[in-house]
Structure 1
Amino acid sequence: MKPHPVVAPAAAPPRIMTLGVEEEFLLLDPATGESMPVAARVLDALSGPAREQSRQEFRHSMVEMVTPVCTDLAQLREHLVALRRAAADAAEAAGARLVAVGATPVCEAHRSVPDEQRYQAMSRRFGPVAHDPAVCGCHVHVGIPDRDLAVQVCNHLRPWLPVVQALTANSPLHDGRDTGHASWRSMQLERWPSIGPTPHFESVADYDAMVAELIAAGIMLDAAMVYWYARPSAGYPTVEIRVGDVCPTVDDTVLVAALVRALVATMVDDIRAGVAAPRVRDCLVAAAHWRAAHDGVDGELIDLRGGGARPAWELIDELVVTVSPALARHGDLDAVLRELQRVRREGTGATRQRRIMAGTDGDVRAVLHHLTAQTTAG
């Protein structure tokens, strides 16, 4: 692989990086599992910090909860638990259940977008794509105030993000049936023109010029519609990793957030040491993400560093070895190793859903009952 040139960042980021998480949830009918358009009622019922940390989403059947900036995993976990429980209580008061699942598992009859100017503009521009059944993601933010460094980090992350995607797979169901994909959310999102693997950029000026060109071409309405799997955040001084399905449990989310922060920190160390981002063909990166969405951790992933398909857990183990110094530096190594052992035993959210389906003769309601309980466990 031919390396890309490295541009030295303006200043070293702090050794202990901040992080925050955005989680999107579905509001489902407790009897049928169908999506319920009650988001406005749920948001109105929230109060205090939970209301301040909630967001209107692109569907009337979705809510998003956003943690404050955190410095350690215990703090992050505390916020995630509190926000999920507050949103679940508000959902129950509206007659719905808050469920952490990556894609609409049964059906969504009401697919109109909220009466917000930007959402309405997206609906007009992108037509039926904007009215697909709702999908829910987990977005992890890691503090990188230098935007040029943030762009370089995104270049270095490209070979690793399919591994992160596989670990978060939590949406095998669509229309009440197994799709054969561990992350159906990923398949739905491929219909959007501004979603996918992050391209390589030479600098922040190169990045900004391309975004401006895509906006001028009508591919995006604005810079906030840069939905690449990693990006310098449009609203925060962070690198935002947005490749994953929403995780079924708080413990799953904390695990992913810890790995993502350590991965970003490791890439920063490499950049400062003069290590160049590998040149990987865009078609191979796209193929690796498709394989991750299809297999999750239960099959094989494409090794974008060495080539070929390999068992998913081999690449996960290599990811952990790669980021172990950063995990140790942040005090996260023991927790990550422990939680990865749990996921190795239990599987991802997709694996767990399929296990319940197999044990209940395909009873989707049993899956949703399990997911509802998992959403607020902890």
Structure 2
Amino acid sequence: MNAEGVRTFGVEEELLLVDGGSGLPLPASWALLEEYADAEDGTGPKLEAELQQEMIEVVSSAPRTLVQLVSDVVLGRAVADRAARVVGARAAALATSPLPGRPHVHPTERFGRMVDRYGVLARENLTCGMHVHVFVTSPQEGVGVLDRIRNWLPVLVALSANSPFVNGQDTGFASYRSQVWQGWPSAGPSPVYGSVGAYRAREEELMATGVLLDRKMLYFDARLSQTYPTVEIRVADVCLFAEDAGLIAALARGLVETAAQDWRAGVPPTKISSPALRLAGWQARLSGLGADLVHPLTGRPAPAWDVVASLLNHVLPALTDAGDTEAVMDGFVRLIDRGTGADRQRAVLHRTGRLADVVTDALEVTHAFNRNGTTADAVDPGVG
């Protein structure tokens, strides 16, 4: 947290590497990272390997302002795409590949062990998410935050939904990426912990089973980062629109700040069970913003935009303190007007009848932003 009391935050975006002509996923990360290593100057967003060679991870800095974070996202996408072009690929903000393709594991010892251990789950996993890191002052505050944001995380899934297609078919889900992700052994919502000791005990309990390779595989919806003094929120699809990535990050920071204040004030967490949260997440993955969601405060169905309004009301004081209110309100207006990434993908397919055109459009949208994160000439999928 900086001197002004605004928490620093950052994002990790996983981008899909594709052939710019056919739209097919392309195993290019090994060559891409070699090119990037030669050109990298030690500043700006960082590129890192992911499980499959058809993916690349872009890690932002940890700024205090939303404008700078969105600028980092835009720059990171450009850096990844520039390196990808050198090796004959493009980088697209798609959370799953609309077109069929057989993934190729990135050749590291750990990734090889994952494929050996988890079989087809790891071998065919080609999903791109976005993780948001928000600074916390201590593990105690971090666990207090985890206990108080858990019921709101399905709303972030719905807002970020960007994966309706897999292997040439419409899955019926708005966020099929997050549905696939639930197959990993430790993925999903967590219980209310109540203390750092209880959180660490849960980690030890799961590690003692021998099912997980290492602590990096504690794939909770949100967790204490093992690398940074942050809470890491791991539920979102990579967003097609860079401005939506900023919206999700701002809401995540608002949730963390609101939860930390409630924790310090002794406000108890909302009582909703992990099984009920799993169902709330399932509904968000299925419908995105296109149908009812499970309300985070009542556990009952409610219209999606009523749920989003409740989220906004919940975090509004924190957004105001951070100077994010206007940008978040603008983000919601854009979502109402044009829909999520999943809506955009389906609109393109409806208009053209070709999934290859969905990928082409995604490439245009991924890179059609000014440095301030505003749309700059993305084509309306309903036109033409």
- Name which of 80, 83, 94 aligns with 1:90: 83
Aligned counterpart, 2:56: 63
Write the distance in 2 (CA, Å) between the matches of 1:52 and 1:166: 27
Does residue 30 of structure 1 match 2:20? yes
CA contact (8 A) 2:99 2:356 kept: no
Instruction: State the partner residue of 2:375.
Output: none
Counterpart amino acid of 1:370? D
- Correspondence list, 1:1-378, <5 A: 15-46=5-36, 47-49=40-42, 53-109=46-102, 111-360=103-352, 362-378=353-369
Q: What is the SS of the residue equivalent to 1:81?
A: helix
Question: Displacement, 1:50?
Answer: 6.6
Aligned-partner Cα distance in 2 for 1:92–1:196: 36
Percent of aligned pairs with the same amino acid: 38
Distance 1:154 1:277 in 2: 9
Check the 8 A contact 2:160/2:238 in 1, yes or no: yes
The answer to whether the Cα contact below 8 Å between 2:251 and 2:315 also exists between their aligned partners in 1 is yes
CA deviation after TM superposition for structure 1 residue 212, in Å: 1.5
CA drift at 1:66: 0.3
Whole-angstrom CA distance in 2 between matches of 1:78 and 1:229:
26
Output the amino acid matched with 1:56: A
C-alpha distance after superposition, 1:189-235 (max 9, x if no partner): 12111111123212111111221221121232222111111111111
Task: Provide the residue aligned with 2:380 in structure 1.
Answer: none
Q: CA deviation at 1:105?
A: 1.7
Distance 2:286 2:4 in 1: 37
TM-score w.r.t. length of structure 2: 0.92
Gaps of 5+ in 2: 370-384
Q: Is the 8 A contact 1:144 1:150 kept in 2?
A: yes
CA distance in 2, matches of 1:118, 1:162: 30
Distance 1:95 1:184 in 2: 28
Aligned-partner Cα distance in 1 for 2:197–2:241:
39
CA positional deviation for 1:25? 0.4
Contact kept, 8 Å, 2:96 with 2:165, in 1: the verdict is yes
1 CA distance for matches of 2:294 and 2:34? 45
Cα deviation, 1:262-308, whole Å, max 9, x if unaligned, reads 11101111111111012212211000000000000111101131132
TM-align CA RMSD? 1.8
Q: Secondary structure at the match of 1:48?
A: coil
The answer as to whether partners of 2:161 and 2:237 remain within 8 angstroms in 1 is yes
Tell me by how many angstroms 1:317 deviates. Answer: 0.8
189-198 or 63-72, which moves further after superposition? 189-198
Amino acid at match of 1:141: H
Per the alignment, in what secondary structure is the counterpart of residue 267 of structure 1? helix
**Residue 284 of structure 1 contacts residue 304 of structure 1 at CA under 8 Å; is this kept in 2?**
no
Unaligned 5+ segments in structure 1 are 1-10
Q: Secondary structure at the match of 1:158?
A: helix
Alpha-carbon spacing, 1:147–1:43, altered in 2? closer, same or farther (3 Å) = same
- Inter-partner Cα distance in structure 2 for 1:337 and 1:99: 26
Contact 1:327 1:333 (8 Å CA) reproduced? yes
- Structure 2: distance between partners of 1:129 and 1:55: 22
State the alpha-carbon separation in 2 of the partners of residues 221 and 145 from structure 1: 29
Q: Distance in 2 between matches of 1:315 and 1:63?
A: 33
Instruction: Give the distance between the partners of 2:227 and 2:318, measured in 1 at CA.
Output: 26
Structure 2 counterpart of 1:84, one-letter code: R
Give how far 1:14 is off.
7.2
Conserved 8 A contact 2:94-2:128? yes
Contact kept in structure 2, 1:194 and 1:219, CA below 8 Å: no
Is contact 1:50-1:86 (8 Å) kept?
A: no
Task: Give the whole-Å Cα distance in 1 for the aligned partners of 2:117 and 2:43.
Answer: 32
CA contact (8 A) 1:107 1:133 kept: no
* SS of 1:160 mapped into structure 2: helix
Counterpart CA distance in 2 for 1:357 and 1:78 is: 30
- In structure 1, what residue type is equivalent to 2:47? S
Counterparts of 1:351 and 1:23 in 2: how far apart (Å)? Answer: 20
How many residue pairs get aligned? The number is 366
